[in-house]
């Protein structure tokens, strides 16, 4: 599933191909891929054709391509991959992808013509054209952006733990006032972004913290450990190209990542914990699953 590392791999793949490119044509095949766009497919197409893409930026799981100003309006093409979305680079005229929803034909001054394909099996992902608004802290909007702006629909999303402008103090303060389970807080994109079910389970396993521990019950050292392990697991996954299951996530060239081989808890129900050998258990949590080691991650072991 596309979480921060997967989205960052896509962003990094898109950046050299689309920065400076001009959109020549847009084909919306399925308007369900525009659920975050305020307008019709035809309007989306008309508004995008002729625009020049400046760069590729990301905050958490949101990706956006800032566009040259048009009529005094500063805006971007925003993408969210949802659970199964893919952004693929293809040669012009390439055959339709399975579950292809939208295709952009772009022309780059150095690389020539290229197709940018948005494919999405489960249609939880979407594209949208959205206005850019100033960041409250005046810092760059996210990775790949040197401008202090984010799309309006990304305003409420917190910075991610790999963002140089991420505030450890604000994260600590948020945990200290929430009685919810720490895993729920890690998944709350308004507290910290980019973490999904896989990396929440992995970071909590590494930090030896039970996913249902109340956030405010964590000691200062435990919070430090969680945040440190979140960063370690995200950076390691990024280095390995992300986590792929059943080809649900691929980079812009359609290639899978390798991090699934490095998972210690997620998806390993019944298999021995790599640390103590006790079988990993799976429990229902927030309409999904939590995987943890019942020996290493005890509900009472929150101090230190």
Instruction: Identify which of residues 120 and 229 has a Cβ nearer to DNA in the complex.
Output: 120
CB of 5 to DNA, least distance (A): 12
CB atoms within 10 A of CB 278: 12
Question: At its nearest, how many Å lie between DNA and the CB of residue 135?
Answer: 18
Examine the residue annotation and report whether 151 is marked as an active-site residue of this protein.
no
Distance, C-alpha 11 to centroid of its chain: 10
Nearer to DNA, 60 or 241 (CB): 60
The answer to whether residue 288 is catalytic is: yes
Task: Compare residues 3 and 8 and give the one whose CB is closer to DNA.
Answer: 3
Instruction: Identify the active-site residue in 98, 164, 177, 288.
Output: 288
User: Of the residues 11, 61, 143, 159, which is catalytic?
Assistant: 61
Q: How far is the CB of 99 from DNA (least distance, A)?
A: 6
Nearer to DNA (CB atom), residue 21 or residue 78: 78
Please say if 225 is a catalytic residue.
no
Least distance to DNA, CB of residue 241, Å: 17
Closer to DNA by CB, 51 or 183: give it: 183
Footprint on this chain of DNA (rule: CB under 7 A): 1-3, 32, 36, 60-62, 80, 82-83, 99, 121-124, 153, 156, 177-181, 184, 187, 189, 196-198, 246, 266, 282, 284, 286-289
Cα–Cα distance measured from residue 189 to residue 184, given in angstroms and rounded to the nearest whole number? 10
* SS3 labels along the chain: CCCHHHHHHHHHHHHHHHCCCEEEEEEECCHHHHCCCCCCHHHHHHHHCCCEECCCEEECCEEEEEECCECCECEEEEEECCCCEEEEEECCCCCCCCCEEEEEEEEECCCEEEEEEEEECCCCCEEEEEEEEECCCCCCCCECCCCCEEEHHHCCCCCCCCCCCCCHHHHHHHHHCCCCEHHHHHHCCCCCCCCCHHHHHHHHHHHCCCCCCEHHHCCHHHHHHHHHHHHHHHHHHHHCCCCCCCCCCCCCCCCCCCHHHHCCCCCCCCCECCCCCCECEEEEECCEEEEECCCCCCCCCCCC
Distance CA 90, CA 116 (A): 6
CB nearer to DNA: give 116 or 195.
195
- Residue 298 Cβ, how far from DNA at the closest point, in Å? 20
2 among known catalytic residues: yes
Min. distance of Cβ 108 from DNA in angstroms? 29
User: What residues are annotated to the active site?
Assistant: 2-3, 61, 288
């Amino acid at each position: 599933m596309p979480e921060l590392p997967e989205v960052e791999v896509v962003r990094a793949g898109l950046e050299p191909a689309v920065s400076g490119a001009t959109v020549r044509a847009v084909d919306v095949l399925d308007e369900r891929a525009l659920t975050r766009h305020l307008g019709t497919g035809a309007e989306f197409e008309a508004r995008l054709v002729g625009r020049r893409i400046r760069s590729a930026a990301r905050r958490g799981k949101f990706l956006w391509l800032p566009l040259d100003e048009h009529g005094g309006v500063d805006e971007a093409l925003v993408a969210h991959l949802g659970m199964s979305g893919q952004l693929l680079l293809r040669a012009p005229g390439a055959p339709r992808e399975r579950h292809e929803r939208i295709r952009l034909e772009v022309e780059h001054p150095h690389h020539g013509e290229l197709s940018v394909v948005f494919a999405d099996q489960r249609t939880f992902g979407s594209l949208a054209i959205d206005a850019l608004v100033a960041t409250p802290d005046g810092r760059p909007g996210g990775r790949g952006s040197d401008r202090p702006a984010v799309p309006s629909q990304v305003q409420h999303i917190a910075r991610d733990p790999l963002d140089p402008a991420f505030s450890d103090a604000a994260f600590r303060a948020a945990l200290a006032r929430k009685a919810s389970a720490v895993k729920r807080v890690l998944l709350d994109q308004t507290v910290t972004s980019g973490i999904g079910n896989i990396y929440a389970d992995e970071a909590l396993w590494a930090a030896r913290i039970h996913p249902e521990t109340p956030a405010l019950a964590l000691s200062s050292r435990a919070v430090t450990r969680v945040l440190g392990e979140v960063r370690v697991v995200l950076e390691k996954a990024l280095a390995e190209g992300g986590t792929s299951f059943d080809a649900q996530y691929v980079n812009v060239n359609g290639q899978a990542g390798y991090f699934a081989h490095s998972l210690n808890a997620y998806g390993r129900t019944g298999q021995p914990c790599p640390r103590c050998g006790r079988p990993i258990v799976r429990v229902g949590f927030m309409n999904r699953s939590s995987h943890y080691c019942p020996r290493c991650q005890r509900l009472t072991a929150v101090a230190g």
